[in-house]
């Protein structure tokens, strides 16, 4: 089924402008950094310049003398009370979980680790006073290379743990009963292609730097934070600090982007909490971009060894992925689980008979890694989509033809993969056909041939990515089996106000995802109320006490479903009241357009609207006997399965073989994200997602030097592209509803990022394949591309 | 971050600016648009005790003709340069290079003179000034002096400006009839040049009669590609002759290696980009 | 980061060896360095490097790790801390003298580690700056070792070209490109004292002597005459390696080494 261009009858499906935009783009909102409380103090953090060192001397005395300074303290000063940050996803039973004090106590393990704080009356004084802190380090060897870190005699990041190996996690389709044994199947294959891919380290570049304000002066300690996860933060603050959970209130006000980078309980949040408790006054910390770069968690950073076994005719048989995943110096909140999320996606949309996955988590003296848009799934998708192209080249087949021979056909759903997941729906044929047509695939292939033959210094490359991903995190039972400590449900409350307006409370925590708009659209259709009459509350544990927040493309698929169910409950509760008012049998009533009518009554005839029911329960003068005077409702939805968005992205690049520059000439994204609530929002998510995926392919890389300095510590060196570096995206959709999610939606937050990176790199390699190039390491910088061409040319390759 | 504390002086005349600088000694720093200095201050890589803001000195701003020269006031913003009809007519190379400087916001605040005085080897305008044989007019305690662009850039971020001197204006010879092109190569649109090439070419009857070529970021200062120029003058304006000349672009350069490019790659880029810049300037 | 230098000086190895061990004589070769204390084995001091608007200042100490007369090999370790901010710089400098007839071949290899802001935000600046510092240090050392005429022009750190020291700094041992491979242009050639041309170049900067500050009256103790004339470094190299002089309150410095250390703590100045 494809999208029709007709205007939808209801709110769902219409391209509503975002409710949030007016306040966000005119600056009429309060970001955490804008908040100011009476008596508020400012906190500054001294960070380690060393990658790995013992702190031999640390004296905040001189800082205390500086103007405006109220107090200062070190990790040693609070060693007994500061606790440790938490790993919420201990992926194996024997995972190594080193203590992660918010302030380093005796040893620092990455550049940027917090070692001391100054609290002053204003921010500038706090920052100035940092300069006066007397600190000396005794250098320890940095641990940077993952393979070297695993050697027997390697220096250790955590000497007390005796190893740099954090965990070793295995999935095997034979053991899981989801397929055959990799080795066995590979032995009988005609061809085995083996590649190593490097997922470079990336830095989530959210627009709003992280900020936290803690007010300890009222009965509840209130924490404002730029977080994606106010609910999870509250639980963990209670667990770590010992302050009872009901005495903590967490507020995530408008938050300026996260991309997974704010899916964390951070050292800074705990430090600010501790500081506020110590001084008994509100304390605010706002980082600079430089702090973000060195101290916020990073993403990706994996080495992937991939083997694919196939028959000569192009039938794929078996797949193996062996990973090294860089944890950095500590385990982040869900960092260890990131590669495990990917484990279920390496097989992509293809029918492998056997699949084996192994991942070793490794400690290094670098910033800890954790979720970054896609979290494990972009890495997996990259590996399989890249190696499918390599296999196609090996077999002399068109890469799309190879995919077509191996993907799950639409009539084969539901389909259980070798990774053990059951995909409920999909139509890869439709998405691919549409993408190829929009792209002009055959014409571009012809042009490519002509340019190869003429020896054009600018070569054309075509890359494809037929991705799928698992979204709608997540079935709680499944989370449990993967040793994740929380659940995956989501909750919604619908409150009918006496005047007929609707207040919706969601447990999701938007930070750019437009929940206020989309949730209003859903409620408008469900309850038959105007879009404008719906108010969506979120991100405050006082108004929204239950929830599991926003990440993993989960909010609409899970939280949206909870919302629909809550709306249904409202209608169910209102029905007997309406029947009573209409003097009819509840069973004879039907609800549509916001009103109950006796079945058979012509449209337009008077019925009882939901607003009338709301007023009736408010007054409660005339209710049927035994009926509670309320029609508000809560619902909590725990999905039975993931949702599986998919799609086909095609990318054409011009590669200037003289300079190595890659320019994207045409980019087509056809995504199937299920039912679409608001096409404008979906479009925005796809654009942003593709931009971030392209950025990994061509531009971004966090680099540590041999001493463990993050040498890409600013945007001068960490190369973030802008719109000027990106093409116009051609986007379209197919729509195969998610069968196991009542709303039919699948999730779109990560799709673009997951799909685009391999499409772009496949295009770059495709352009250079006549030269004998089989890979270009990401990001495919002009110099790397030029090196690939020069090296291959020296070996005799030519277009 | 927040810069360290400093005193701020905003003189309204050049003389006052020079006096303020002289009074402050070597811990003073001139600020105009602040697009290079402020980031350095915020990262606390620099901590001058006094900032002398020359941004409101009317005499330092604007573009005028003076005989065979164009005179560009030092605090004329990039955006003003970009849209100035005299620049477009007599020194299009400056406009072309200016259009590649950072982004629109930076171009509205950053100044032409500031780019030169900052002397970032990756900045675009120093090479243009060197290619055009611009002369820099400098105000100091003893009045004005003029320094040729070739002698102005001494080293990485270092110029012939004394601590109590202010760059007042830049005098650029008009080059009627010359073709020009600035070829910039950067990782992303808003980034500094990995390598840039400024070229101005004069042709007569299919022969190159004049050539000025200078390179951005091929050493600690902009480099005049003399070997390329010598090979071009008198050569036919053909792709082959230009390629042959461009192959000498690396002569006498000392490109550095950094995260974005190795020295070898820079040397390679210099030849390719020189060929392109000269071809474009020659109308090929 | 490893930086290698190789040059030849026209004096016998024994003489060069004596000079090499004379800390007060060699230390000022480090641009912007002020030696504050030296007992023969250990020394302390400050180094301040000014580069356009950028100022890096360190204070620290150094010591001789090895002084082997038989192999004429000296190893010096120095370590310093940023006066503002918590960045550090550490260097191990190994110098080996080898007699070549009446002349001496000097090989200086510097292993340099810099942390903190300069390493994080510099767009590769630290490599450029370090390379330059070591170049100048080596060039000046060559000058010192050459002896003759050094007194007259000693205040002047010769340019690389004038000294004929190669001063080719590779980023690291694996990919040095120029440094390891081809012999540097000046190698094997006698070193001449600072060429007059070097001074002439200064002409482009008008009256630089007048505009740069001379040594302050509060000059700390052990500063040598040479270090007290930083202006010449500025003149010849364009690197504004000016000494910090407000240092009484400051701890002090380093020297022979490569990167150095100063104090100039702002709070002390106010």
Picking from A659, A717, A724, the nearest residue to B185 by CB comes out as: A659
pLDDT score, position A548: 97
pLDDT score, position C262: 23
User: What are the residues facing A249 on neighbouring strands?
Assistant: A222
Tell me whether strands A41-47 and A283-286 are parallel, antiparallel or unpaired.
Answer: parallel
Interface test with C, best of A44, A48, A49, A134 (most C CBs within 10 A): A49
Cross-chain residue pair A49–C84, CB shorter than 8 Å: no
Of A178-187, B10-19, B25-34, B179-188, the range with the lowest mean pLDDT is: B25-34
On the question of pLDDT at A144 being above 80, the answer is: yes
Of A59-63, A297-301, A336-340, A742-746, the range with the lowest mean pLDDT is: A742-746
Picking from B41, B44, B192, the nearest residue to C85 by CB comes out as: B44
Q: pLDDT tens digits, residue range A148-163?
A: 999 999 999 999 999 9
On the question of pLDDT at C233 being above 70, the answer is: no
Share of chain B above pLDDT 90, in %: 92
Picking from C124, C127, C213, the nearest residue to B26 by CB comes out as: C213
Give the DSSP per-residue string, A431-448: HHHHHHHHHTHHHHHHHH
Which residues from B are below 8 Å from A287, CB to CB? Answer: none
User: Whole-angstrom Cα distance, residue B68 to residue C232?
Assistant: 38
Cross-chain residue pair C120–A290, CB shorter than 8 Å: yes
On the question of pLDDT at A141 being above 50, the answer is: yes
Q: Does B43 touch chain C (CB under 8 A)?
A: yes
Give the end-to-end CA distance of chain C in Å, rounded to a whole number. Answer: 36
Q: What are phi and psi of A182, to 5 degrees?
A: -55, -50
Distance from the Cα of A707 to chain C's closest Cα (Å) equals 7
User: Whole-angstrom Cα distance, residue B169 to residue B71?
Assistant: 7
Chain A: touching chains (3 or more CB pairs < 8 Å): B, C
On the question of pLDDT at B46 being above 70, the answer is: yes
- Residues recorded for chain A: 799
Cross-chain residue pair C120–A711, CB shorter than 8 Å: yes
Confidence of residue A797 (pLDDT cuts 50, 70, 90): low
Instruction: Tell me the mean pLDDT in the region B8-12.
Output: 97
Give the DSSP per-residue string, A644-655: --EEEEEEEEEE
Cross-chain residue pair B187–A786, CB shorter than 8 Å: no
Q: Does B144 touch chain C (CB under 8 A)?
A: no
Which residues from B are below 8 Å from A719, CB to CB? Answer: 187-188, 191, 260
Confidence of residue B43 (pLDDT cuts 50, 70, 90): confident
Which residues from B are below 8 Å from A127, CB to CB? Answer: 1-2
Q: What are phi and psi of B143, to 5 degrees?
A: 100, -155
Instruction: Tell me the mean pLDDT in the region B171-186.
Output: 96
Confidence of residue C124 (pLDDT cuts 50, 70, 90): low
pLDDT score, position C125: 67
Confidence of residue C139 (pLDDT cuts 50, 70, 90): confident
Q: Are A461 and A652 in contact (CB under 8 A)?
A: yes
What three-state secondary structure class fits A685?
helix
Interface of A with B in 277-336 (CB under 8 A): 288, 290
Interface test with B, best of A47, A118, A120, A658 (most B CBs within 10 A): A658
Q: Does C114 touch chain B (CB under 8 A)?
A: no
Instruction: Tell me the mean pLDDT in the region B271-281.
Output: 98
ipTM for the whole complex? 0.96
Six-digit token string for A488: 């995956």
For B132-144, give the secondary structure using H, E and C. CCCEEEEEECCEE
User: Whole-angstrom Cα distance, residue B284 to residue B275?
Assistant: 11
Of A132-146, A183-197, B202-216, C218-232, the range with the lowest mean pLDDT is: C218-232
Cross-chain residue pair C121–A66, CB shorter than 8 Å: no
Of A2-11, A191-200, C155-164, C179-188, the range with the lowest mean pLDDT is: C155-164
pLDDT score, position A799: 61
Confidence of residue C159 (pLDDT cuts 50, 70, 90): very low
Searching chain C, which residue's CA lies closest to the CA of residue B259? C124
Confidence of residue C269 (pLDDT cuts 50, 70, 90): very low
Interface of C with A in 96-155 (CB under 8 A): 113-117, 119-124
Cross-chain residue pair B162–C204, CB shorter than 8 Å: no
On the question of pLDDT at C43 being above 80, the answer is: yes
Confidence of residue C181 (pLDDT cuts 50, 70, 90): very low
On the question of pLDDT at C264 being above 50, the answer is: no
User: Whole-angstrom Cα distance, residue A686 to residue A682?
Assistant: 6
Report the Cα C267 to chain-centroid distance in Å: 27
User: Whole-angstrom Cα distance, residue A554 to residue A229?
Assistant: 13
Interface of B with C in 253-282 (CB under 8 A): 256-260, 262-264
Searching chain C, which residue's CA lies closest to the CA of residue B193? C123
pLDDT score, position C119: 83
Confidence of residue C178 (pLDDT cuts 50, 70, 90): very low
Instruction: Tell me the mean pLDDT in the region B4-28.
Output: 94
Which residues from B are below 8 Å from A720, CB to CB? Answer: 188
Cross-chain residue pair C51–B147, CB shorter than 8 Å: no
Q: Does C128 touch chain B (CB under 8 A)?
A: yes
Nearest to C139 by CA among C152, C122, C156, C114: C156
Cross-chain residue pair C115–A111, CB shorter than 8 Å: yes
Cross-chain residue pair C120–A709, CB shorter than 8 Å: yes
Chain C: touching chains (3 or more CB pairs < 8 Å): A, B
Searching chain A, which residue's CA lies closest to the CA of residue C83? A131
- Residues recorded for chain B: 284
User: Whole-angstrom Cα distance, residue A427 to residue A416?
Assistant: 15
Instruction: Tell me the mean pLDDT in the region A763-782.
Output: 97
Share of chain B above pLDDT 70, in %: 100
Interface of A with B in 706-735 (CB under 8 A): 711-712, 714, 716-717, 719-722, 724-725
Nearest to A473 by CA among A263, A631, A755, A332: A263
On the question of pLDDT at A56 being above 50, the answer is: yes
Q: Does C53 touch chain A (CB under 8 A)?
A: no
Q: pLDDT tens digits, residue range A487-546?
A: 999 999 999 999 999 999 999 999 999 999 999 999 999 999 999 999 999 999 999 999
Q: Does A705 touch chain B (CB under 8 A)?
A: no
Searching chain C, which residue's CA lies closest to the CA of residue B39? C121
Instruction: Tell me the mean pLDDT in the region C244-259.
Output: 26
Confidence of residue A6 (pLDDT cuts 50, 70, 90): low
Run of H or E including B16: helix B14-24
Give the DSSP per-residue string, chain C: -EEEEEEEESS-HHHHHHHHT-HHHHGGGSTTEEEEEE-SSEEEEEEEEEETTEEEEEEEEEEEEEEETTTTEEEEEEEEEESSSS-EEEEEEEEEEEEETTEEEEEEEEEEEE-SHHHHSSTTHHHHHHHHHHHHHHHHHHHHHH-TTHHHHTTSPPPHHHHT------SSSSS-TTTTSSPPTTTTSPPPPPPHHHHHHGGGSSSHHHHS----TT--TT--TTTT-THHHHHHH--B-PPP---TTS--B--SSSS------HHHH-
Report the Cα A505 to chain-centroid distance in Å: 22
Interface test with B, best of C205, C214, C231, C266 (most B CBs within 10 A): C205
Q: How far is CA B224 from CA A223, A499, B214, C168, in A?
A: 59, 77, 4, 22
On the question of pLDDT at A130 being above 90, the answer is: yes
Which residues from C are below 8 Å from B258, CB to CB? Answer: 123-124, 127
Confidence of residue B121 (pLDDT cuts 50, 70, 90): very high
Q: pLDDT tens digits, residue range A625-670?
A: 999 999 999 999 999 999 999 999 999 999 999 999 999 999 999 9
Q: Does C47 touch chain A (CB under 8 A)?
A: no
Confidence of residue A172 (pLDDT cuts 50, 70, 90): very high
Instruction: Tell me the mean pLDDT in the region B41-67.
Output: 94
Establish whether the linkage from the previous residue to A779 is cis, with ω within 30° of 0.
yes
Searching chain C, which residue's CA lies closest to the CA of residue B139? C206
Which residues from B are below 8 Å from A128, CB to CB? Answer: 4-5
Picking from C53, C123, C266, the nearest residue to B4 by CB comes out as: C266
Q: Which residue has the higher pLDDT, C122 or A350?
A: A350
Distance from the Cα of B184 to chain A's closest Cα (Å) equals 12
Interface test with A, best of C86, C87, C251 (most A CBs within 10 A): C86
Where does A97-180 have alpha helices with state H? Answer: 123-130, 146-149, 173-176
Confidence of residue A792 (pLDDT cuts 50, 70, 90): confident
Six-digit token string for A95: 């995972």
pTM of the predicted model as reported, rounded to 2 decimal places: 0.90
Which residues from A are below 8 Å from C116, CB to CB? Answer: 49
pLDDT score, position C238: 27
Instruction: Tell me the mean pLDDT in the region A30-51.
Output: 97
Cross-chain residue pair A711–B2, CB shorter than 8 Å: no
pLDDT score, position C202: 27
Picking from B5, B188, B265, the nearest residue to A699 by CB comes out as: B188
Picking from A128, A658, A725, the nearest residue to B188 by CB comes out as: A725
């Amino acid at each position: 089924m494809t999208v029709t261009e007709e205007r939808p009858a209801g709110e769902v499906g219409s391209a509503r402008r975002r409710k949030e935009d007016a306040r966000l783009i005119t600056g009429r909102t309060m970001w955490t950094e804008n908040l100011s409380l009476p008596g508020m103090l400012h906190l500054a953090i001294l960070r380690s310049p060393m990658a790995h060192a013992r702190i031999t001397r640390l004296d905040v005395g001189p800082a205390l003398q500086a103007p405006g300074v109220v107090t200062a303290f070190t990790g040693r000063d609070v060693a007994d009370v500061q606790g440790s940050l938490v790993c919420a996803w201990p992926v194996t039973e024997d995972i190594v979980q080193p203590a992660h004090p918010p302030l380093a106590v005796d040893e620092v393990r990455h550049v940027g680790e917090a070692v001391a704080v100054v609290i002053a009356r204003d921010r500038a004084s706090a920052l100035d006073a940092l300069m006066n802190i007397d600190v000396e380090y005794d250098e320890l060897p940095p641990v940077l290379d993952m393979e070297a870190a695993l050697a027997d005699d390697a220096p250790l990041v955590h000497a007390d743990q005796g190893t740099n190996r954090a965990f070793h996690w295995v999935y095997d389709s034979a053991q899981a009963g989801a397929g055959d044994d990799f080795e066995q199947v590979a032995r009988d294959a005609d061809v085995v292609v083996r590649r190593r891919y490097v997922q470079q380290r990336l830095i989530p570049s959210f627009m709003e730097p992280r900020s936290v304000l803690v007010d300890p002066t009222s009965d509840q300690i209130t924490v404002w934070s730029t977080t994606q996860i106010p609910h999870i933060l509250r639980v963990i603050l209670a667990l770590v600090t010992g302050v009872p959970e009901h005495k903590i209130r967490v507020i995530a006000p408008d938050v300026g982007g996260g991309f997974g980078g704010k899916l964390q309980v951070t050292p800074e949040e705990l430090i600010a909490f501790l500081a506020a408790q110590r001084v008994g006054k509100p304390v605010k910390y706002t980082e600079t971009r430089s702090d973000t770069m060195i101290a916020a968690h990073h993403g990706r950073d994996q080495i992937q060894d991939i083997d694919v076994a196939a028959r000569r005719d192009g039938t794929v048989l078996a797949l193996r992925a062996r990973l090294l995943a860089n944890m950095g110096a500590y385990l982040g909140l869900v960092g260890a689980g990131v590669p495990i999320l990917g484990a279920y996606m390496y097989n992509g949309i293809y029918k492998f008979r056997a699949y084996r996955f192994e991942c070793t988590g490794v400690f290094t003296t670098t910033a800890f890694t954790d979720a970054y848009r896609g979290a494990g799934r972009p890495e997996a998708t990259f590996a399989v989509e890249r190696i499918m192209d390599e296999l196609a080249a090996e077999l002399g087949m068109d890469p799309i033809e190879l995919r077509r021979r191996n993907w799950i056909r639409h009539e084969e759903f539901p389909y259980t993969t070798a990774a053990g997941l059951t995909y409920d729906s999909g139509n890869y044929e439709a998405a691919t056909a549409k993408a190829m047509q929009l792209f002009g695939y055959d014409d571009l292939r012809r042009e490519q041939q002509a340019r190869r033959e003429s020896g054009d210094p600018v070569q054309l490359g075509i890359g494809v990515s037929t991705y799928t991903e698992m979204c709608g995190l997540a079935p709680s039972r499944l989370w449990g089996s993967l040793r994740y400590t929380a659940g995956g449900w989501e909750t919604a409350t619908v409150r009918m106000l006496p005047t007929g307006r609707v207040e919706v409370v969601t447990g999701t925590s938007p930070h750019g995802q437009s929940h206020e708009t989309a949730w209003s659209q859903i409620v408008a259709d469900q309850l038959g109320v105007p879009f404008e009459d719906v108010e969506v509350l979120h991100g405050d544990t006082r108004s929204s006490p239950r929830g599991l927040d926003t990440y993993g493309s989960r909010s609409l698929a899970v939280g949206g479903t909870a919302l629909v169910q809550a709306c249904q409950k409202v209608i169910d509760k209102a029905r007997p009241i309406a029947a009573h008012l209409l003097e009819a049998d509840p069973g004879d009533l039907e609800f549509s357009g916001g009103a109950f009518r006796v079945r058979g009554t012509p449209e337009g005839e008077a019925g009882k609207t939901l607003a009338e029911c709301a007023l009736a329960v408010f007054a409660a003068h005339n209710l049927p006997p035994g009926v509670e005077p309320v029609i508000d409702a809560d619902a909590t939805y725990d999905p039975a399965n993931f949702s599986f968005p998919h799609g086909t992205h095609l990318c054409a690049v011009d590669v200037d073989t003289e300079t190595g520059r890659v320019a994207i000439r045409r980019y087509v994204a056809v995504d199937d994200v299920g039912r679409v609530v608001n096409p404008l929002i979906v479009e925005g998510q796809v654009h942003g997602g593709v931009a971030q995926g392209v950025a990994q392919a061509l531009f971004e890389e966090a680099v540590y030097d041999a001493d463990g300095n993050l040498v890409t510590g600013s945007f001068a060196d960490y190369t973030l592209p802008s719109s000027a570096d990106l093409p116009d995206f051609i986007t379209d959709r197919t729509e195969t509803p998610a069968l196991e999610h009542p709303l039919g939606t699948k999730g779109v937050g990560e799709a673009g990022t997951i799909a685009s990176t391999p499409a772009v790199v496949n295009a770059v390699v495709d352009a250079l394949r006549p030269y004998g190039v089989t890979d270009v390491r990401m990001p495919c910088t002009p110099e790397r591309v030029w090196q690939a061409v020069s090296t291959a040319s020296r070996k005799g390759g030519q277009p | 971050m927040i810069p360290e504390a400093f005193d701020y002086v905003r003189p309204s005349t050049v003389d006052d600016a020079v006096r303020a600088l002289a009074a402050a000694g070597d811990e003073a720093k001139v600020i105009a648009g602040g697009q290079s200095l402020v980031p350095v201050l915020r990262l606390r890589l620099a901590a001058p005790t006094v900032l002398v803001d020359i941004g409101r000195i009317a005499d330092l701003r604007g573009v005028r003709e003076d005989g065979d020269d164009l005179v560009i006031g030092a605090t004329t913003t990039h955006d003003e340069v970009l849209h100035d009809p005299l620049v477009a007519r007599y020194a299009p190379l400056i406009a072309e290079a200016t259009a590649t400087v950072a982004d629109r916001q930076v171009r509205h605040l950053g100044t032409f003179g500031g780019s030169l005085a900052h002397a970032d080897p990756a900045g675009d305008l120093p090479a243009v000034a060197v290619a055009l044989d611009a002369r820099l007019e400098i105000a100091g305690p003893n009045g004005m002096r003029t320094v040729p662009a070739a002698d102005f850039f001494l080293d990485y971020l270092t110029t012939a400006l004394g601590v109590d001197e202010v760059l007042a204006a830049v005098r650029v010879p008009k080059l009627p009839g010359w073709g020009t092109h600035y070829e910039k190569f950067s990782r992303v649109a808003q980034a500094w040049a990995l390598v840039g090439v400024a070229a101005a070419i004069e042709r007569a009857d299919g022969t190159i009669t004049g050539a000025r070529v200078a390179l951005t970021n091929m050493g600690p200062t902009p480099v005049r590609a003399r070997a390329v120029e010598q090979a071009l003058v008198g050569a036919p304006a053909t792709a082959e002759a230009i390629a042959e000349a461009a192959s000498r672009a690396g002569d006498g350069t000392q490109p550095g290696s950094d995260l974005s490019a190795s020295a070898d790659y820079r040397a390679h880029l210099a030849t390719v980009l020189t060929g392109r810049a000269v071809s474009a300037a020659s109308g090929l | 980061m490893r930086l290698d230098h190789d040059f030849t000086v026209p004096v016998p190895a024994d003489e060069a060896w004596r000079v090499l061990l004379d800390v007060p004589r060699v230390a000022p070769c480090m641009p912007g360095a002020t030696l504050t204390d030296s007992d023969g084995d250990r020394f302390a001091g400050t180094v301040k490097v000014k580069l356009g608007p950028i100022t890096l200042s360190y204070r620290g100490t150094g010591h001789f790790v090895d002084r082997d007369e038989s192999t004429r090999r000296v190893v010096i370790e120095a370590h310093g801390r940023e006066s503002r901010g918590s960045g550090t710089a550490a260097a191990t400098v190994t110098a080996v003298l080898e007699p070549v007839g009446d002349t001496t071949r000097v090989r200086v290899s510097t292993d340099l580690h810099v942390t903190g802001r300069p390493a994080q935000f510099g767009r590769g600046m630290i490599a450029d700056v370090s390379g330059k510092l070591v170049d100048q240090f080596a060039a000046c050392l060559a000058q010192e070792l050459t002896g003759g005429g050094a007194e007259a022009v000693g205040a002047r750190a010769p340019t690389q070209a004038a000294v004929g020291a190669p001063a080719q700094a590779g980023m690291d041992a694996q990919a040095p490109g120029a440094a390891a491979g081809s012999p540097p242009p000046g190698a094997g050639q006698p070193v001449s004292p600072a060429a007059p041309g070097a001074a002439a170049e200064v002409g482009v900067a008008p009256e630089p002597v007048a505009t740069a500050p001379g040594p302050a009256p509060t000059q700390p103790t052990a500063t040598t005459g040479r270090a007290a004339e930083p202006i010449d470094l500025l003149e010849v190299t364009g690197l504004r390696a000016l000494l910090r002089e407000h240092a009484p309150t400051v701890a002090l410095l380093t020297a022979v080494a490569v990167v150095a250390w100063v104090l100039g703590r702002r709070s002390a100045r106010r």
